[in-house]
Amino acid sequence: MASSVLRPDTLTLKPWDLLLSLLLHGTVVLFLLLGRGCIEDDQPLFDPDEIMQVQMVALPKARGRNPDRATRAPSPPPPAPVPEAAMPSPEPFAEPHPSNSETRPEEPPPKADSRDRRADVLRQLRRSELIKDIQAPLGDVDRSATDPNSTLSPEEAFAGLGTGAPMDPDLARYQSQIRRIVLPNWTPLPRIIQDNPDLFTIVEVTLDADGKIEKTRMARPSGNTSYDESCIRAVQKSGRLPLPPPKFQNLASRGIWIHFPASDAR
């Protein structure tokens, strides 16, 4: 039975088959037309010809150099040979410092979390990652775009972050400029970051035609007041930000969302 159905000479087109096909094709055409109308309103995000990959890195601070006065101390003179002597008497010591008794004033606060070795090691690893990040030269890989563990939101996907898709080079350049200005003003308490590495805040900022910050708004609070406040202050303290590239200015007129992730894992 099945083999006869699949033979071409046995295939027959019934009228309602044709009708159903026409109906579905018509629906597809209709959706294509509507869909086209729907996305025409938005600015194109990427020009494929311009695509390049970049890595956002913080530039290391310049190190202060003291005058280089090489005055390497000469090696100590060799001591005169002395016959093996009897063991010397104990040598002078000052008294060890008395240990300080520690108490808490009234209203004792909750004791800080005790951290085990593992936490310290993890912190060291995070730190070494940060160090590597800071020291990395301006490379050719968009770290956020190539992060296999990236779990960024649809909004970030929209901007080309963390999607695996390369970021628009103008947007990448703009992000780097914003980062250079805002990051030095951002001083969240390390303890908060350490205890809550998943904190994530979005601050919306509106710029005037000169780049002066007109308005800041907490678009997405993290739930930690101190952390959120540090993000808002970082933007406000910046005072002025560069204007976005022309092709993004229409989008930016509705507001620029600045993301503040507590860790690179976000």
Partner 1 sequence: MLVEPLRLFSFLGLLLAILGFTCPSGAVAQESGRLIVSVGAPGRQDIPLAIPNPKGADSTLAREFASVLVRDLEISGWFRILDPAAFLEPPGAGLRPGEFSFSDWTIPGAAVLAKTRIDLLGQKLRAEVWIYDVAGARKLDARAFSGSDSGLRSVAHHVANAIIKAVTGTDSIFNTRFAAVNNRTGNKEIYLVDIDGHGAIPVTRNGSINLQPSWSPDGTKLIYTSYRAGNPDLYLADLAKATTRRISARTGLNIGAAWSPLGNLLSATLSNGGNSDIFTLDPYSGKVVARLTTSSGIDASPSWSPGGSQIAFVSDRSGGAQIYVMSANGSNIHRVSFHGTHNTDPSWSPAGDRLAYVTREKHFDIITCDLDGRSLVRITQGQGDNEDPSWSPDGRYLSFSSTRTGTSHIWISTADGYHQIQVTRDKGGWSNPSWSPSLDW
Q: What angle in degrees, to the nearest 10, is found between the helix axes of 169-182 and 225-238?
A: 100
Determine if 213 is a binding residue for partner 1 (CB under 8 A): no
Cα–Cα distance, 252 to 208 (Å, whole number): 11
Residues 98-137 contacting partner 1, CB under 8 A: 98-105, 107-109, 112-113, 115, 120-121, 123-125, 127-128, 130-132, 134-135
Q: In 10 A of CB 171, how many CB atoms? A: 19
Count residues near partner 1 (CB under 8 A): 122
Q: Report whether 203 contacts 235 (CB < 8 A).
A: yes
> Which window, 36-44, 46-54, 208-216, contacts partner 1 (CB under 8 A)?
36-44
> Which window, 46-54, 190-198, 208-216, contacts partner 1 (CB under 8 A)?
190-198
> Which window, 29-37, 46-54, 208-216, contacts partner 1 (CB under 8 A)?
29-37
Residues 141-170 contacting partner 1, CB under 8 A: 144, 154-159, 161
Q: How far is the CB of 156 from partner 1 (least distance, A)?
A: 6
- What's the first-to-final CA gap in the chain, in angstroms? 58
For the record, the structure tokens of 157 come out as: 């996907």
In the block, which residue shows the tokens 């100590």? 76
DSSP conformation class of 201: E
Among residues 188, 184, 202, 199, the alpha carbon closest in space to that of 239 is found at: 184
Determine if 55 is a binding residue for partner 1 (CB under 8 A): no
Residues in the chain: 266
Cα–Cα distance, 63 to 76 (Å, whole number): 33
Q: How far is the CB of 49 from partner 1 (least distance, A)?
A: 19
Residues 72-101 contacting partner 1, CB under 8 A: 72-73, 76, 79-85, 87-88, 90-94, 96-101
Cα–Cα distance, 190 to 180 (Å, whole number): 20
Q: How far is the CB of 101 from partner 1 (least distance, A)?
A: 5
Q: How far is the CB of 229 from partner 1 (least distance, A)?
A: 4
> Which window, 46-54, 208-216, 232-240, contacts partner 1 (CB under 8 A)?
232-240
Cα–Cα distance, 52 to 138 (Å, whole number): 13
Cα–Cα distance, 233 to 227 (Å, whole number): 10
> Which window, 46-54, 177-185, 208-216, contacts partner 1 (CB under 8 A)?
177-185
Q: How far is the CB of 148 from partner 1 (least distance, A)?
A: 18
- Among 70, 116, 151, 210, which residue interacts with partner 1 (rule: CB under 8 A)? 70
Cα–Cα distance, 54 to 167 (Å, whole number): 8
Determine if 50 is a binding residue for partner 1 (CB under 8 A): no
- Among 147, 169, 195, 218, which residue interacts with partner 1 (rule: CB under 8 A)? 195
26 sits in which H/E element: helix 15-39
Q: How far is the CB of 183 from partner 1 (least distance, A)?
A: 5
- Among 148, 190, 210, 246, which residue interacts with partner 1 (rule: CB under 8 A)? 190
Radius of gyration of the chain (CA): 32
